[in-house]
Amino acid sequence: MSPTRFLPRPTSLPFRFPPSPIRHQRRGFLSSILSSSPVPPQTLTASRRLPYNHAALYSLIADIDSYSAFLPYCSSSRVTSWTAEKDPEFGRRWPTRADLTAGWGGLEQTYTSRVFCIPGSIVEALSGEGARSGIAPDILARHGLKDEPYYSPSSTVRSGHNGEEGVFKTLVTRWSVTPVERATLDGRGGGTVLGTSRQTEWSDVNLNIRFQFTNPLYGAVSSAVADKIAPIMIEAFVERAKKVLG
């Protein structure tokens, strides 16, 4: 009989193997490549023609405090700064800075936006140190505005990912309203019909969203919903106009 039969079986190994560094090295290598790769900016657009006065629609768009009540992808909105004087035509002041929380595809960021209001025409919100206005400098100056980059050190990220960087490197949201010549419409509010009596005002509303992620991973996560964002937002605005303006 073999003498090894009576040797006790070891209950545990006398030492532990160190964890394999391969997985950690591969993950760190992949993350470093992705974080260093340039992330191209993206642009989303949507537009609608609505049977409302352009000034009334503009006032709704400039009401940034109400965004979180009706706009998808915006969970919080608060104006923190206003123009010093009231606009003589509209009889009100316009927002110049706001704190917004927005995101999609499981990514969400709270940030401070610089807001440029061209009364009756454009509302533009810019976030990110490199974000620049698409409004001509002379038009901004005409309304007492100037495009100066603003950086908010209090910007936070709630994306479900570990890390301190923000989701967006830049985020520029621009609403514009343009009045359309009065058209004679049928009683159902359909297409243009000659010879009927009811007159109505129409306006074109355009939404343009320019953004750049800080990391390609964020783009991969949001790719399934990104192209649907602008159409969904403008449809939500249409419903808001129906509710407020009738």
In this predicted structure, which of 10-24, 190-204, 218-232 has the lowest mean pLDDT?
Answer: 10-24
Question: Is residue 115, in this structure, part of any structural domain at all?
Answer: yes
Identify the CATH number of the domain in which residue 68 sits: 3.30.530.20
Question: Is residue 1, in this structure, part of any structural domain at all?
Answer: no
Question: Is residue 55, in this structure, part of any structural domain at all?
Answer: yes
- Torsional sign, CA 224, 238, 69, 41: positive
Question: Is residue 139, in this structure, part of any structural domain at all?
Answer: yes
Q: What is the mean pLDDT of residues 106-123?
A: 90
Question: Is residue 209, in this structure, part of any structural domain at all?
Answer: yes
Question: Is residue 195, in this structure, part of any structural domain at all?
Answer: yes
Question: Is residue 223, in this structure, part of any structural domain at all?
Answer: yes
Tally of domains in the chain: 1
Question: Is residue 58, in this structure, part of any structural domain at all?
Answer: yes
In this predicted structure, which of 60-69, 96-105, 178-187 has the lowest mean pLDDT?
Answer: 178-187
pTM for the structure as a whole: 0.73
Residue 178 scores a pLDDT above 90: yes
Neighbours of 30 (CB within 10 A): 11
Range of the domain at 212: 45-245
